[in-house]
């Protein structure tokens, strides 16, 4: 894991209160309208896009300014590339902007009490074996460190989102939850 924190304006200065869950997402810089992207599946360009999401319109480097005039909010604690390499983008003590309007097991506003883990990919890319290993290892470590014993609190963005206007599709039907939880169990047993 490589510590590569986003600038402070990309995450909340409020602290995570007793982290009790993990939300899994996918992310990439594949949209054809993006500028100054060399490899849409690279950690570096995904990082660049995360920073861009949080910038005011006139300072954006990648997103089309006409459609993203206002600053948005986007970040997550961990970002895992197709080879399973991982960057930590947000300190574990702070709230990241990954889940938006959301509810999980009746608890609202997941950002304030969950970690966000992003896998580089798209709705139809699927995920590599290296990514399953890396995300399972990350979630195993977090679940031990923060005593997340009920794994129904580890869920996809598509499961928790309450957005009707912008429905979320990540990590989507190609994410194999059975395989993921199996690997998580294996990492915890070996810890």
- Provide the annotated active-site residues: 118
Under the criterion CB under 5 A, does residue 77 sit at the interface with Zn ion? Answer: no
- In the complex, the smallest distance separating the C-beta of residue 91 from Zn ion, rounded to whole angstroms, is 20
Ordered alpha helix ranges (H), 25-176: 43-53, 129-145, 157-160
- In the complex, the smallest distance separating the C-beta of residue 167 from Zn ion, rounded to whole angstroms, is 11
Total binding residues for Zn ion by CB under 5 A? 3
Q: Which stretch binds Zn ion (CB under 5 A): 51-59, 80-88, 135-143, 157-165?
A: 157-165
Q: Let me know if 22 is exposed, middle or buried by CB neighbors in 10 A (0-12, 13-18, 19+).
A: buried
Under the criterion CB under 5 A, does residue 157 sit at the interface with Zn ion? Answer: yes
**22: enclosing H helix or E strand:** strand 21-27
Under the criterion CB under 5 A, does residue 158 sit at the interface with Zn ion? Answer: no
Restricted to residues 14-73, the positions that interact with Zn ion (CB under 5 A) are 25
Q: How far apart are CA 78 and CA 153, in angstroms?
A: 17
Under the criterion CB under 5 A, does residue 170 sit at the interface with Zn ion? Answer: yes
Q: Let me know if 186 is exposed, middle or buried by CB neighbors in 10 A (0-12, 13-18, 19+).
A: middle
Interacting residues with Zn ion (CB under 5 A):
25, 157, 170
């Amino acid at each position: 894991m490589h510590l590569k924190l986003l600038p402070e304006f990309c995450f909340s200065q409020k602290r995570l209160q007793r982290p009790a869950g993990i939300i899994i997402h996918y992310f990439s810089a594949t949209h054809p309208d993006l500028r100054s992207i060399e490899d849409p599946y690279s950690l570096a360009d995904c990082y660049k896009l995360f920073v861009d999401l949080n910038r005011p319109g006139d300072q954006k480097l990648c997103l089309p300014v006409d459609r993203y005039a206002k600053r948005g909010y986007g970040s997550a604690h961990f970002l895992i590339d197709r080879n399973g390499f991982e960057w930590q983008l947000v300190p574990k003590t702070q709230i990241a902007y990954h889940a938006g309007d959301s509810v999980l097991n009746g608890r609202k506003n997941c950002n304030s009490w969950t970690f966000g883990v992003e896998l580089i990919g798209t709705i139809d890319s699927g995920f590599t074996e290296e990514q399953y290993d890396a995300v399972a290892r990350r979630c195993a470590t977090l679940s031990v460190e923060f005593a997340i014993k009920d794994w129904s609190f580890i869920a996809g963005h598509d499961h928790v989102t309450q957005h009707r206007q912008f429905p979320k599709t990540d990590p989507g039907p190609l994410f194999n939850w059975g395989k993921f939880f199996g690997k998580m169990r294996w990492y915890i047993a070996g810890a």
